[in-house]
Structure 1
Amino acid sequence: MRTGLYFDMRNPVAWRRDPVRLYGEFLELCEEAERLGLDSVWVTEHHGFDDDYLPTPLTLLAAAAARTTRIRLGTGVVVAPLHRAAEIAEQAAVVDLLSGGRLDLGLGAGYRPAEFELYGASLRARYAENDARAREVRELWRSGAVTPKPAQPRLPIWMGYLGPKGARRAGLLGECLLSADARLWEPYRAALVEGGHDPAGGRMAGGVQAWVTDDPDGDWPVVSRHLAAQVDSYARHARQGTELPPPRPVDPDRLRAGEPRTSLNYFFYGTAEDVAARILDYTAGAPVDGVYLWAGLAGMSRDLVARHINTIATRLAPLLREAG
């Protein structure tokens, strides 16, 4: 099983830093991750967050492509309904060429009303639009209607769905499923068969909410503060533009004790052995060939992020690689 890192470039007010330095450090950390032997770096997309969440993942990966030579580069995800298929196809092809064929293109439906309003897109039709983008991008590359073509003969498209209905959508399309949750393998597999695709070609991978440390008790006071800021930000911005009341502040200890029912209601925390065991249980029985963890949580210092990357690379990744 491959191991990667996840970045969102948050810069919250409580720990505000020079954004120029923050983005420069991202590139340095990508180089360090590659040097340490990690397998992938993933970035994602949101718009209008007050903590400056990354809005342009493919732009950032183009810069990472120029600073690395081996590590794979993924979008987890591009919010596809906000963009034209030709735009996605062209930008993804350029990143794939710059990287020598290392791009994994994750596409997601999105969920925030404010983002759809900003881009003049339909929130109601987002799932159908996301599926359509995957089909359209494939056809644009196949037909040569957009140029240049990617370096990879079949650039992996990962459908960013986290429930059984989404897993079915990914299977019918014959694309990869961007989830590491083994519970989704059965609906994904069944839909691959129904769509006329060989289930032996089914691939799953995805993000895992986790933190690896050699000192769980000593690090928790710091990690829990940044975890709370990150999850509270997600919850607050998810309700932006709706009539829902403000969410309650998250309890990090409950997340640490929780089981992964949804993408944000749990947090695997502990030593490399502890976290590896939780990940292997979470992915057991499914064709999950990779997971990625937060390199750092909202507002963390570069030193703390770098230490976490080192721990992931030297302690966790070997355990997952051996088990895989």
Structure 2
Amino acid sequence: MSYLNFGVFFAPHHPHHADPALQLRQDLKVISEIDDMGFDEVWIGEHHSNGSETISAPDLFLASVAEHTKHMRLGTGVMSLSYHHPFVSASRMVQLDNMTRGRVIFGTGPGKLPLDAHMMGIDTTVQRRRQREALEVIMPLLRGETVTAETDWFSLQDARLHLLPYRGPGEMEVAAASIASPSGSQLCGTLGLSLLSLAAGTAQGFDTLPSNWAAYEKVAAAHGHEARRDRWRVLEPMFLADDRDELDRIVARRIPYAAEYAQVWAAPEDDLAWTRSSKATIDHWRDEGMTIFGKGTFGGPEEAIARIETLQEQTGGFGTFLILIHDLADHQATLRNFELFASEVIPYFRSYRNQNRVGTLDFAKNNVGMLAGNAVAAVEHATKEYESGAAAAWKRMSGT
């Protein structure tokens, strides 16, 4: 089994009735805790509307995260390139990369929320084209090149970044989001980006994982890039408790707000009977899925392990599993979710770390007679040495 990294993807999703300043601080506290638990990456999204996904500047938030963490890599999940001049996007991310000593992953996308685009007067049909055009100038800028370009929405004249990535020109990892169609894979392969599969929880997204990777490999090879499985990230919703009954109890209070937000993505003809109770909502999320990210794993650690193994089998292997986290429970239950993942799920996929511990214990159990005999012999030897030494000392003291 190849080495598997684990990360957490915060859109974030929060109930819209609570204090947003507190929610931002709690996100920061949770990220600090999971850094200590051994998670490898954290990703922060960019959204400007709909009231639930509250972070509009992921690079700004990650700058704060960097001061509260030591180990995790920091990804924008994702920066919506169609909303920004690409020179500014590249400049901000390179600054963050230097501030964090090279911990940044520049995750990119076209922009997810239709209301974001509506409020900015952007035609949603041009957003993917804009993402590609932005990346076509961002990648040479990150390599230290001077770029001149003209499109219908931005211009560059003799543009070059005055800072370069911390580890050198072109050494910042750049990723692009892929849903189900091969367009994301083709973009990544063409420009040499890492693949970020966001819809593995949907039936279509799951089914197309192998074909999307195949398309990525083919296009990457045609453009002289290496398709690296260790940089392939697969995302699904998950939330863990000790068992399903405990999970249902923990999320009962907040799950209606997640259901309310999911209705934003529902078609007019959809049957929304599953929103009428907390139990119906969580069951629907387990079986059908509530948003574009698809169905999730909500239960005990063994369910998470089984699902990740299924994804590994379907894909043939990927580098990082990302947990899409929703604000489904209070702070302590949320931390318990990550503790279960860190203490039971991650070690399962990194069993080599404990193989010698298990080996020494097995040897001890299989040779208990010999080892116990050696221990008894050692005690007897020490006793005899003590007794002979004490007798000699007594003779010296008594002069006999």
**Normalization by structure 2: what TM-score?**
0.71
Which amino acid is 1:194 matched to?
Answer: A
The corresponding residue for 1:245 is: 268
1-structure distance, mates of 2:259, 2:174: 27
> Structure 2 vs 1, CA of residues 192 and 225 (structure 1 numbering), >3 Å: closer, same or farther?
farther
Q: Which AA in structure 2 matches 1:174?
A: G
Partner of 1:267: 296
Contact 1:4 1:293 in 2 (8 A): yes
- SS of 1:209's partner is strand
What is the Cα deviation at residue 158 of structure 1?
Answer: 0.8
CA contact (8 A) 2:185 2:195 kept: yes
- Shift of the 51–201 alpha-carbon distance from structure 1 to 2, 3 Å rule, reads closer
**Aligned partner of residue 50 in structure 2, secondary structure:** coil
Spell out the pairing of 1:1-324 with structure 2 (5 A cutoff). Answer: 1-14=4-17, 16=18, 18-51=19-52, 53-142=54-143, 143=145, 145-153=160-168, 154-163=171-180, 164-179=182-197, 181=200, 182-183=209-210, 184-200=212-228, 203-223=231-251, 226-227=254-255, 229-230=257-258, 232-236=260-264, 238=265, 245=268, 248-249=271-272, 250=274, 251-258=281-288, 263-284=292-313, 285-295=315-325, 297-298=326-327, 300-322=329-351
Compute the displacement of 1:139 (Å): 1.6
Higher mean C-alpha displacement, 89-98 vs 312-321: 312-321
Counterparts of 1:168 and 1:42, CA distance in 2: 23
Amino acid at match of 1:203: R
Aligned residue pairs: how many? 315
> Is the 1:96–1:103 contact (alpha carbons within 8 Å) kept by the matching residues of 2?
yes
Q: Work out which structure has the larger RCO, using CA pairs closer than 8 Å and 6 or more positions apart in sequence.
A: 1
- Answer with 188-197 or 155-164: which moved more: 188-197
Aligned-residue offset at 1:100? 1.1
* CA positional deviation for 1:162: 1.4
Q: Secondary structure at the match of 2:122?
A: coil
Q: Which amino acid aligns with 1:102?
A: R
Shift of 1:72: 0.7
Structure 1 unpaired stretches of 5+: none
Alpha carbons of 1:263 and 1:245: their partners in 2 closer, same or farther (altered >3 Å)? closer
State the percentage of identical aligned residues: 22
Give the deviation of 1:235 after TM superposition.
4.1
1:258 and 1:266 in contact (8 A); partners too:
yes
Q: How has the CA–CA distance of structure 1 residues 50 and 258 changed in structure 2, closer, same or farther, with 3 Å as cutoff?
A: closer
Q: CA deviation at 1:59?
A: 0.8
The whole-number CA distance in structure 2 between the counterparts of 1:112 and 1:26 is 21
* CA 1:122–1:322: 2 relative to 1, 3 Å: farther
Q: Cα gap change, 1:234/1:257 in structure 2, threshold over 3 Å: closer, same or farther?
A: closer
8 Å CA contact retained: 1:58, 1:95: yes
Cα deviation, residue 247, structure 1: 5.6
In the superposition, relative to structure 1, how do residues 36 and 265 fare at CA in structure 2: closer, same or farther (>3 Å)? closer
Instruction: Report the alpha carbon displacement of residue 117 of structure 1 after superposing the two structures with TM.
Output: 2.6
62-71 vs 110-119, greater mean Cα deviation? 110-119
**Alignment CA distance shift 1:310-1:202 (3 Å):** closer
Any stretches of 5+ residues in structure 2 without a counterpart?
Answer: 147-159, 201-208, 275-280, 354-400
Counterparts of 1:147 and 1:304 in 2: how far apart (Å)?
45
CA RMSD of aligned residues (A): 2.7
Task: Tell me by how many angstroms 1:294 deviates.
Answer: 3.3
**Letter aligned with residue 312 of structure 1:** F
Q: Quote the Cα distance in structure 1 between the aligned partners of 2:111 and 2:259.
A: 17
In 2, the alpha carbon distance for the partners of 1:290 and 1:235 equals 30
1:245 corresponds to which letter in structure 2?
P
From the CA coordinates, give the structure whose radius of gyration is larger.
Answer: 2
Query: Retained in 1: the 8 A contact 2:11–2:77?
Result: no
1:56 deviates by 1.2
Q: Secondary structure at the match of 2:349?
A: helix
**Letter of the 1:150 counterpart:** P
**Match of 1:252, as an amino acid?**
I
How far 1:202 moved relative to its partner?
Answer: 7.3
SS of residue in 2 equivalent to 1:288: coil
Q: Which amino acid aligns with 2:192?
A: G
Judging changes above 3 Å, is the alpha-carbon distance between structure 1 residues 48 and 5 closer, same or farther for their aligned structure 2 residues?
same
d(CA) in 1 for partners of 2:312, 2:176: 17
Using a 3 Å threshold, how does the CA distance of structure 1 residues 135 and 323 change in structure 2: closer, same or farther?
A: farther
TM-score (norm 1): 0.86
Do 1:3 and 1:292's aligned partners in 2 also have CA atoms closer than 8 Å?
Answer: yes
